């Protein structure tokens, strides 16, 4: 199929390498990385489950999950209008009907979604609390990386409200935030049930952590074996190649 593709300045169309799905990105804005790929792989979603994606950016997580035949309907939300514009272009290009995107402040979500409406939530939030290096970045990258527009406490609060009992939240974050994450999860009764540490190499400290939370579940965390990105020779591990569908 040949499509008319209109790319604005600095926009590009990237191949997601799953079936023929593609994603519009703007190279001056926050582009998806291995984090989004790992989170969409880590997230378990049955064919009849509805998914809310917080901090959706250009919509990569719902689109990747849809491409992998996970979940039913998706709603992605982001505060940056240019992100939602890109996300909607990708929906149109890929002929996807079961994903919607809205440009809104997540903090207003309580007036948009019903309490307990969702089976599951995905979130690749801004990782950093500190405000170092603010001046040299554009607004989109700042909002994507630093807790400016949304704080972790608010993400847990909003997730707990939107999820039904036994509903699941899937998050990727930095290991240095684990104490904040665990404290807030318990505060909002989103119990951490499964955790995977992500290491660039087997003998290095972890650079990311994947966590599944279950609303109102009993306390008992299963820490799974670590996920290693690169082999000693610098090539992707077998596990990563599988996640990347290669």
Name the residues that contact its own copies, by CB under 8 A. Answer: 129, 175-183, 185-186, 191-192, 195, 197, 199, 202-206, 209, 219-226
Residue 203 CB, shortest distance to its own copies, in Å, is 6
Residue 32 DSSP code: P
Residue 224 CB, shortest distance to its own copies, in Å, is 5
Q: Judged by CB, which is closer to its own copies: 20, or 176?
A: 176
Do residues 51 and 122 lie in contact, with contact meaning Cβ atoms separated by under 8 Å?
Answer: yes
Q: Judged by CB, which is closer to its own copies: 7, or 129?
A: 129
- Orientation angle between helical segments 152-162 and 178-187, nearest 10 degrees: 40
Residue 135 CB, shortest distance to its own copies, in Å, is 23
Burial 187-212 (b: 16+ CB within 10 A, else e): ebebbbbbbbbbbeeeeeebebbbbb
Distance CA 174, CA 99 (A): 28
Residue 44 CB, shortest distance to its own copies, in Å, is 18
Distance CA 246, CA 243 (A): 8
User: SS3 sequence, 143-155?
Assistant: HHHECCCCCHHHH
Residue 156 CB, shortest distance to its own copies, in Å, is 13
Q: Judged by CB, which is closer to its own copies: 47, or 219?
A: 219
What the block records as the tokens of 8 is 């604005």
Do residues 217 and 166 lie in contact, with contact meaning Cβ atoms separated by under 8 Å?
Answer: yes
Q: Judged by CB, which is closer to its own copies: 101, or 156?
A: 156
Residue 116 CB, shortest distance to its own copies, in Å, is 23
């Amino acid at each position: 199929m040949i499509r008319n593709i209109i790319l604005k300045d600095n926009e590009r169309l990237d191949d997601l390498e799953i079936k023929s799905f593609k994603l519009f990105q703007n190279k001056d804005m926050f582009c998806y990385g291995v984090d989004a790929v790992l989170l969409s792989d880590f997230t378990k979603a049955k064919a009849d489950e509805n998914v809310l994606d917080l901090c959706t950016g250009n919509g990569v997580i719902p689109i990747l999950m849809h491409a992998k035949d996970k979940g039913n309907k998706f709603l992605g939300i982001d505060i940056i209008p240019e992100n939602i514009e890109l996300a909607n272009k990708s929906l149109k290009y890929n002929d996807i009907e079961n994903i919607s995107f809205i440009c809104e402040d997540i903090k207003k979500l309580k007036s948009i979604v019903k309490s307990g409406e969702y089976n599951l939530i995905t979130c690749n939030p801004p990782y950093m609390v500190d405000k170092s290096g603010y001046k040299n970045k554009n607004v989109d990258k700042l909002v994507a990386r630093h807790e400016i527009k949304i704080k972790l406490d608010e993400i847990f609060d909003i997730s707990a409200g939107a999820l039904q009992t036994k509903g699941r939240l899937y998050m990727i974050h930095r290991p240095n935030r684990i104490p904040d994450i665990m404290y807030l999860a318990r505060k909002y009764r989103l119990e951490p049930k499964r955790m995977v540490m992500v290491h660039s190499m087997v003998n290095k400290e972890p650079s990311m952590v994947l966590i599944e939370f279950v609303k109102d579940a009993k306390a008992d965390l299963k820490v799974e074996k670590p996920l290693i990105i690169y082999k000693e020779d610098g090539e992707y591990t077998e596990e990563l190649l599988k996640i990347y569908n290669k």
